[in-house]
Every structure is written in structure tokens, then in C-alpha cells.
């Protein structure tokens, strides 16, 4: 004689059933975010970085809006990209760039090696100066001359407000108290 109790059905979890792919999707999203942020920190170009990560730009905007941790890392990567740009501006303006000397369409050789000349960018140096030194920034002044007449402004404003209040009262359904 079998005295075992009949088995009870296992209760189903309440709410929406968890998909088996949820963990995989999480890993894919985290990987895509990491690839995107690494590339974005290097180049500062959202579209190019999204292509490297094989994601849509809309995903980035959604993550920025809904994922606080991603948003923080995005802004850090954005700052890194800006720092890289500043470093390159400095390198080209202050340290200079070596260029091969060409004359009459041919590379000039010296002791069997191409002759190089270091070139500096005055334009980029000017940009750096404007960013760092207030005395190099362009300033604009606006002078306003003439007379502004406001003597009738109070009466004109009061008349417009009274007309607007009248239209509001007319628009109220019958039986409604005045505002």
C-alpha cells in the first residue's frame, strides 16, 4: 500500500516569466557599452564609436537617459576625448610636427636620409592662447544709445490684462464662478 502523499504541483512564479536570454542580453549590452565607451574616449565621435561597437545611435541616447552608470561613464569618456584633443592641439602648436622637405616635387635628401623640418601651427597656438589666457580672447562690446519711452507702458499693460480677463470670463461655462 502506497502511503506517499500525492505530489503537489510546483507554484509558478508570479509576474512576468524571466526570459532565458535576459542574462545574455545583459552581457551583450555591457560588452557593447564597454566597446563604445573605449572607442568614444579615443575619437570623441559618437557615430564612429557606435559603428565600432555595432550598435545604433538610438541605443546610446536611450542608455544616456535611462542608465545612470552608463551616463556617468559616457561623460567621463567625453572628457577624455576632449583632453586628447587639447593634447594634440598643444603638440602641433608648441612641440611641432616633423615634415619631409620637398623641392621641385622631390624629397630632399641629406646624407642619404630625407631632410625633415619641424613645423609649428601659429593658428593652433592662437586657439590655445584664447582658451588659456584671457588677454588673448576676443571681446565684444555693445553700445546702445537713444531713448526708450515707457511712460504709457503701465496703462497699456493694464488694458491688455483687462481685455484678456474679459475673454476668460466669457469663455467660462454658465454657472462657473469667476476667477
What is the mean pLDDT for each group of 10 consecutive residues in the chain (179 residues)? 56 55 81 96 95 93 94 97 93 94 94 94 92 86 79 85 86 66
Q: For residue 98, is it left (φ>0), alpha (ψ between -120 and 50) or beta?
A: beta
d(CA 16, CA 28): 22
pTM: 0.57
Q: For residue 109, is it left (φ>0), alpha (ψ between -120 and 50) or beta?
A: beta
The whole-number pLDDT of residue 86 equals 92
The whole-number pLDDT of residue 178 equals 57
The whole-number pLDDT of residue 140 equals 78
Contact (Cβ atoms closer than 8 angstroms) between residue 93 and residue 121: yes
CA 73, 77, 78, 79 dihedral sign is positive
The whole-number pLDDT of residue 8 equals 61
The whole-number pLDDT of residue 103 equals 93
Name the burial class of residue 43, with classes exposed (0-12), middle (13-18) and buried (19+) by CB atoms within 10 angstroms of its CB. middle
What percentage of the chain's residues is helix, strand, coil (to nearest 5)?
A: 55, 10, 35
Question: Between the CA atoms of 168, 174, 177 and 179, what dihedral angle is there, to the nearest 10 degrees?
Answer: 0
Beta-carbon-side half-sphere exposure of residue 31 (alpha carbons within 13 Å): 7
What backbone torsions phi and psi does residue 100 show, to the nearest 5 degrees?
-70, 135
The whole-number pLDDT of residue 13 equals 54
The whole-number pLDDT of residue 18 equals 52
d(CA 168, CA 160): 12
Q: Note the maximum CA span of the chain.
A: 112
The whole-number pLDDT of residue 2 equals 52
* Cβ atoms < 10 Å from Cβ of 40: 24
Amino acid at each position: 500500500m502506497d502511503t506517499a502523499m500525492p505530489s503537489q504541483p510546483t507554484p509558478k512564479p508570479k509576474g512576468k516569466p524571466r526570459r532565458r536570454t535576459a542574462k545574455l542580453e545583459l552581457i551583450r549590452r555591457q560588452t557593447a557599452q564597454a566597446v563604445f565607451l573605449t572607442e568614444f574616449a579615443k575619437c570623441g565621435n559618437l557615430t564612429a564609436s557606435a559603428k565600432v561597437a555595432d550598435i545604433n545611435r538610438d541605443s546610446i541616447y536611450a542608455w544616456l537617459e535611462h542608465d545612470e552608470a552608463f551616463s556617468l561613464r559616457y561623460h567621463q569618456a567625453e572628457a577624455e576625448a576632449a583632453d586628447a584633443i587639447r593634447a594634440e592641439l598643444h603638440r602641433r602648436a608648441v612641440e611641432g610636427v616633423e615634415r619631409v622637405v620637398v623641392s621641385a616635387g622631390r624629397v630632399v635628401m641629406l646624407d642619404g636620409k630625407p631632410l625633415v623640418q619641424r613645423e609649428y601651427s601659429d593658428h593652433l597656438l592662437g586657439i590655445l592662447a584664447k582658451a588659456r589666457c584671457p588677454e588673448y580672447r576676443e571681446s565684444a562690446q555693445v553700445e546702445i544709445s537713444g531713448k526708450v519711452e515707457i511712460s504709457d507702458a503701465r496703462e497699456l499693460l493694464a488694458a491688455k490684462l483687462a481685455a484678456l480677463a474679459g475673454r476668460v470670463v466669457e469663455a467660462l461655462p454658465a454657472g462657473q464662478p469667476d476667477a
